[in-house]
Amino acid sequence: MAKLVAQTKRDEEGRQRAEKLDRAKLSFQDGYTTRDQMVQVCDFFMNKKSEEGLRDKLSFLLSHFCMLRGESVREMELADMQMISLQNESKNRNCPALICLLRQGKTNQFHRLEVAATIRAENTFICSLSSLAMYFVWRWHLSGENFPSFADPDKWYDIKLLKGGNGITTPMSYNTHLERIDEAFKAAKIRSKAKTHAARGSAVRMAEIDGCPEESIRRCGRWNNKALEGCYMSQLPREAMRVLAGFNKDPGNYFLRRDCRDPPISLQCQIYPSIDEMLQRHEEEDGVEINLAAIGFLKLLKELRIIFIQDSVELRERYPDHPIWRLDLFDS
């Protein structure tokens, strides 16, 4: 059997050479390898000045920082998202981390629980948490979409993160995802054989270039399926999360100058204003069915509104004409 496998590989190598197939496929020339290139992709989406532009930027950044396949990011729902606070990442404060729960995908045919995670990026313009905050602000403050009711899972569990054109429970389609990434890559002069899958491979190569250990990259991309990790461990690839976000792989180096001061509560409460009351009701079991997903998502929103206000300073300077700055918040 081993001889047959070896012969098959040799035959395939011979075929590729004979057909002059592109030898740089899946190499460092295939995709992107710098944060400057990522900024160019994000610029393309931000300059759309639309909800779709913010959605497409978010799909790109989540695919990169969480090493997600295209189908995984498209099928993600609000109930799959949580926020936790990581200790020992910073010398002066805890580090917020976005947690995405995955139960579907090409390599997850049995719907086991897998985890993808990321932290705030050192570069504001490619920060996935900042992008997530902006997208939610647009949806629930500018587009007219009703803020979800978290009192009952039936009313919000099916809401898609990246919604398509046929309602909040319809995901962005594969063709739309493919077209948007292709447009952005062409604008940024990025050459990639893959499109919706490109960010996953490019993130691996960037993490490797920056010195991230192979084991952490494997965990970040969920290429390990050991029983211990699948059932009991947090699975958080913290070294890869640090490196991809632009920090040293060792703990204690997380620092963002823009995170040194929290915005006043009076400003925070202008974003997603009902979440404080709803979170209190869930934590005290006050007239609602206790739901850990609701608690986790509401805590995420509390952190995102801080991130949105903090990051708006730099983002407004780079994109001064974006419609999101028309919010009353920025005239207060």
Q: Using alpha carbons only, what angle is made at residue 42 by residues 107 and 126, rounded to the nearest 5 degrees?
A: 75
Other beta carbons within 10 angstroms of residue 113's beta carbon come to 11
- What is the per-residue burial (b if ≥16 Cβ within 10 Å, else e) of 145-182? bebbebbeeeebbebbbbbbeeebeebbeeebbeebbe
Q: What is the DSSP string of 264-319?
A: PHHHHTTSSTTHHHHHHHHHTT-SS---HHHHHHHHHHHHHHHHHHHHHHHHHHHS
Other beta carbons within 10 angstroms of residue 5's beta carbon come to 9
Tokens of residue 121, six digits: 């990026």
Report CA-CA distances (Å) from 128 to 53, 105, 123, 284, 326. 14, 21, 10, 31, 22
- Residue 37 DSSP class: H
Report CA-CA distances (Å) from 212 to 6, 60, 132, 216, 255. 32, 21, 25, 7, 19
- Residue 82 DSSP class: E
**Which residue type, as a one-letter code, is found at position 120?**
R
Q: Using alpha carbons only, what angle is made at residue 153 by residues 266 and 113, rounded to the nearest 5 degrees?
A: 100
| pLDDT for residue 230 | 44
Domain boundaries, the chain: 28-317
- Residue 191 DSSP class: -
List Cβ<8 Å contacts ≥24 apart for 14-22: 22/193
CATH T-level fold of 28-317: hpI Integrase; Chain A (1.10.443)
- Residue 164 DSSP class: E
Partnered with residue 118 across adjacent β-strands are: 98
pTM here is 0.87
Q: Report d(CA 226, CA 230) in Å as an integer.
A: 6
Q: Which of 178, 193, 195, 202 is nearest to 34 (CA)?
A: 202
Q: Could you report the average pLDDT of every consecutive run of 10 residues in the chain (332 residues)?
A: 59 58 53 94 98 98 94 94 90 86 64 85 97 97 92 93 93 95 94 85 90 89 59 68 93 92 93 91 82 92 96 97 95 85
- Residue 131 DSSP class: H
Tokens of residue 152, six digits: 């009952």
With residue 218 as reference, give the H or E element that holds it.
helix 214-220
Report CA-CA distances (Å) from 288 to 147, 280, 298. 17, 10, 14
| pLDDT for residue 233 | 41
Q: Report d(CA 159, CA 167) in Å as an integer.
A: 9
| pLDDT for residue 26 | 47
Chain-centre distance of CA 240, in angstroms?
A: 14
Locate the DSSP E strands across 14-94. 81-86
